[in-house]
Structures are given as C-alpha cells and as structure tokens.
C-alpha cells in the first residue's frame, strides 16, 4: 500500500503526537526524491531501527548554487511513492514550499569547519542551504534518528555537527553507499547520463579503489594524485573539480593515510556533476 503523502506541517505534527503518546520511536529519511536503491537502503535501515518512518521529499532551492541544476533536477513524486510502497513507510512528507520557507523567511543555518572545503568551496551557499533545510526537517518531524548516505559524506558530517551544535535531540546515522555493478555510486543525477556516459562514469570507482590501495600501502597522496587525475580525464570525464584525501573525522587534508581517511572526488561528465568518496 502506498503511504499517505502529507504536505502540511500541522498534519505531520498530529501524526507525530499520536506516535509519541504510544511510546514509539520515529525515524526520518530526508531526500530530494527521484528515489533509487541508495535512498531505499536508508529507508530499510530506518525501518529496522525505529517503529515509524517518515520519508521527506523536498527539492530545496536554497541548496542549489546553479539555477540550471535546480531546473534540471528530476521530479518524480508519483514514481517515488510507488517505489516506497513495498517498504511500508508511515508517511511521505512532501512539504508545500511555504511550509519550509514561509513568507519573510530570514534565518540561515551556517556550519563552519567541516563545511568549508570541497563541496563547500566549490558550491558557495550549498551547505547553508542543506543545514537550514535539514534543521527545519529535524524540528518539523521530531524524529529520534535520521538516516543519511555516506555517498554525501561531507554532508553527513555537516548535518551531524549542526544537530549537535543546536542541541536538536536526534541521532544522525550514516549508511554505506549503494553502487551499480560497475561501482558507479547511485545518484539521481545519473538519470541525466546517456548509456555511453554511464559506462564511462563507471571508471571512476575502480580508479579511486586503486588509488586507495596505493595509499593504504603507505603511498604519499601528492606523489599519486596526478596519475589518478589523468586516469579520470582519460576515462571521459570533461573536468575534475577536486580529488582530495581527508581525515574521515574532521575532513582536514592529509598526505598519508595513517588514521581513518577518505578519498573524495567531484567530476563532470556530459555536463553532469558527479561526486563520490571511499574509505582508505
Ligand atoms: P538526495 O536525494 O540526493 O538529496 O539524497 C538523499 C539521501 O540519500 C542523502 O542522505 C544521500 O546521501 C543518500 N544517498 C544518495 N545516493 C546514495 C547512494 N548511492 N547510497 C546511499 N545513500 C545515498
């Protein structure tokens, strides 16, 4: 059965009150829709951990620094509801824009530190948009736990920091990246690639994995980076925005993978910007 779609905060709050009165634990899975198996893995983790699951679908204009990207972002609400049906979620919250940004909205949630590099540097204002909407979704849903993908690892750390700093009583849970057979990280943006582009993009993950193996064997990032960058461009990517090795804890740049570290990449193919990251 498809879950009810709620568009008004007051209606969501009424459901939430019933659940809390019954002593139930509530999970939220924030998404921008165009759901794929990566999103559904978060839903499965949420179902396993909590009594009630709210999936939110909101294409948040405030986190798009590029108007074309916002205009091209897939919107597939009907299909999304069908994909969620077998997962037996309790509510799909698709807030009317005025429920998130009412007239006169003037507040900005801005996280420093983990939000400053990579996506934060390449997409000015992006993480302010993310932190602001996610803070609202945490407060609106009143969830005990929130499920986010490691696919957007920097976002996961930004959101966790925000919730801690603002004393929002929610646990932010990170879930592993779901990939295609080629290793390509599933993403709503992959829908915009041709078959050939999808095939070329499949080269990214093996290149990252090979670089991670060399780093784990004691390689120095500065010595290895150029070769991997050349491989990414040779695979058919038009532009590489960054290839970075960072501490998995605070995202500071590292040269040697001595503690927990991650490799991060952002690259363009067929005019589509893809990001990925893996543990080293
Ligand atoms: P989005 O709809 O792209 O904003 O993503 C919503 C949530 O799904 C975020 O927490 C993402 O990190 C997560 N997500 C997106 N792609 C994947 C994937 N391939 N594997 C796991 N989680 C994902």
Q: Which of 40, 56, 152 to mutate to test the pocket of ligand 1 (most atoms within 8 A of CB)?
A: 152
Atom 22 of ligand 1: nearest residue by CA position: 149
Quick one: 164 exposed, middle or buried, by C-beta within 10 A (0-12, 13-18, 19+)?
exposed
Yes or no: say if 58 and 35 are a contact pair by the CB < 8 Å rule. no
What is the structure's pLDDT at 65? Answer: 87
What is the structure's pLDDT at 2? Answer: 87
Helix (H) or strand (E) holding 89: none
Please confirm, yes or no, whether 87 is among the known catalytic residues.
no
Q: What does the alpha-carbon distance between residue 221 and residue 224 come to, in Å, rounded to a whole number?
A: 5
What is the structure's pLDDT at 162? Answer: 98
Atom 13 of ligand 1: nearest residue by CA position: 149
Retrieve residue 154's tokens: 């920097």
Kindly give the confidence (pLDDT) of every residue in the chain, 280 residues in length, as a single tens digit, with 9 standing for 90 and above. Answer: 789 999 999 999 999 999 999 999 999 999 999 999 999 999 999 999 999 999 999 999 999 988 998 998 989 999 999 999 999 999 999 999 999 999 999 999 999 999 999 999 999 999 999 999 999 999 999 999 999 999 999 999 999 999 999 999 999 999 999 999 999 999 999 999 999 999 999 999 999 999 999 999 999 999 999 999 999 999 999 999 999 999 999 999 999 999 999 999 999 999 999 999 999 9
What is the structure's pLDDT at 1? Answer: 79
Atom 7 of ligand 1: nearest residue by CA position: 31
Atom of ligand 1 nearest to the CA of 148: 10
Site residues for ligand 1, CB cut-off 6 Å: 31-32, 38-39, 41-42, 148-149, 151-152, 175, 177-178, 185-188
Q: How far is CA 117 from the centre of its chain?
A: 16
Q: What does the alpha-carbon distance between residue 203 and residue 180 come to, in Å, rounded to a whole number?
A: 12
What is the structure's pLDDT at 234? Answer: 98
- Output the CA 130–ligand 1 centroid distance in Å: 13
Yes or no: say if 62 and 128 are a contact pair by the CB < 8 Å rule. yes
- Whole-model pTM? 0.97
Retrieve residue 218's tokens: 């004691």
Q: What does the alpha-carbon distance between residue 225 and residue 231 come to, in Å, rounded to a whole number?
A: 10
Atom of ligand 1 nearest to the CA of 178: 20
Q: What does the alpha-carbon distance between residue 185 and residue 204 come to, in Å, rounded to a whole number?
A: 9
């Amino acid at each position: 059965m498809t879950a009810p779609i709620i568009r008004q905060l007051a209606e969501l709050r009424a459901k939430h009150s019933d659940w809390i009165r019954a002593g139930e634990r509530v999970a939220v899975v924030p998404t921008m829709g165009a759901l794929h198996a990566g999103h559904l893995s978060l839903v499965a983790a949420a179902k396993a951990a909590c009594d009630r699951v709210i999936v939110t679908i909101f294409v948040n204009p405030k986190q798009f620094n590029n108007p074309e990207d916002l205009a091209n972002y897939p919107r597939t609400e009907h299909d999304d509801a069908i994909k969620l049906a077998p997962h037996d979620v309790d509510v799909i919250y698709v807030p009317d824009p005025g429920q998130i940004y009412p007239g006169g909205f003037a507040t900005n949630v801005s996280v420093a530190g983990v939000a400053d590099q990579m996506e934060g540097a390449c997409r000015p204002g992006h993480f302010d948009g993310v932190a602001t909407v996610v803070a609202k979704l945490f407060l609106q849903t009143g969830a005990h736990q929130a499920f986010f993908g490691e696919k957007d690892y920097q976002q996961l750390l930004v959101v966790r920091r925000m919730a801690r700093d603002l004393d929002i009583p929610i646990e932010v849970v990170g879930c592993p990246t779901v990939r295609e057979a080629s290793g390509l990280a599933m993403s709503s943006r992959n829908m915009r690639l041709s078959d050939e582009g999808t095939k070329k993009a499949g080269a990214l993950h093996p290149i990252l994995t090979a670089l991670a193996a060399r780093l784990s064997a004691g390689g120095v990032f500065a010595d290895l980076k150029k070769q991997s960058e050349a491989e990414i461009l040779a695979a058919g990517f038009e532009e590489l925005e960054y290839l970075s090795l960072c501490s998995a804890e605070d995202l500071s740049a590292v040269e040697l993978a001595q503690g927990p570290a991650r490799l991060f990449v952002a690259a363009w193919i067929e005019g589509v910007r893809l990001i990925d990251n893996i543990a080293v």
